[in-house]
């Protein structure tokens, strides 16, 4: 199996309703998002996917959040914009847009350089990722 990853960054604000701490107040992060995809084969050039295409896909699914308050962007106008929820949402968006035979393996959402949440599926867990 071939495993590819790409990363993008964006800045956004959010607050966590009901959080019993400072995260209940609006604050910002410089998010770093890593998308990991898998393929069992290569194309005629010897690539599972062109990195430029992978990065473009990742930019497309994260662009609605750049320089925004996440609490105002669906689906986070209905659910808390935690790193966990963001990872699951981005996983689902990437899955819907990724051309076969590629599959999304993992999305990692870094809120800081040292903290992240991931949402992952593997070949044995091919459930739909919706948020």
Extract long-range pairs of 18-26: CB within 8 Å, 24+ residues apart.
18/80, 19/80, 26/69
Q: Choose the catalytic residue: 7, 19, 67, 72.
A: 67
Q: Choose the catalytic residue: 14, 23, 72, 128.
A: 23
Distance of alpha carbon 43 from alpha carbon 50, whole angstroms = 10
Q: Choose the catalytic residue: 72, 111, 120, 128.
A: 111
Matching residue, tokens 């604050």: 27
Is 23 catalytic? The answer is: yes
Q: Which candidate, 48, 29, 47, 51, places its Cα nearest to that of 39?
A: 48
Is 111 catalytic? The answer is: yes
Q: Write out the catalytic residue numbers.
A: 23, 67, 111
């Amino acid at each position: 199996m071939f495993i590819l990853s790409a990363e993008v960054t964006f800045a956004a604000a959010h607050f966590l309703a009901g959080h019993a701490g400072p995260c209940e107040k609006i604050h910002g992060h410089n998010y770093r998002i890593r998308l990991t995809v898998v393929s069992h084969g290569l194309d005629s050039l010897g690539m599972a996917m062109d990195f430029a295409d992978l990065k473009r896909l990742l930019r497309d699914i994260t662009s609605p959040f750049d320089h925004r308050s996440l609490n105002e962007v669906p689906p986070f106008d209905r659910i808390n914009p935690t790193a966990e929820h963001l990872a699951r949402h981005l996983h689902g968006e990437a899955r819907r847009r990724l051309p076969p035979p590629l599959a999304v393996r993992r999305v990692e959402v870094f809120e800081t350089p040292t903290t992240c949440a991931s949402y992952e599926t593997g070949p044995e867990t091919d459930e739909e990722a919706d948020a």
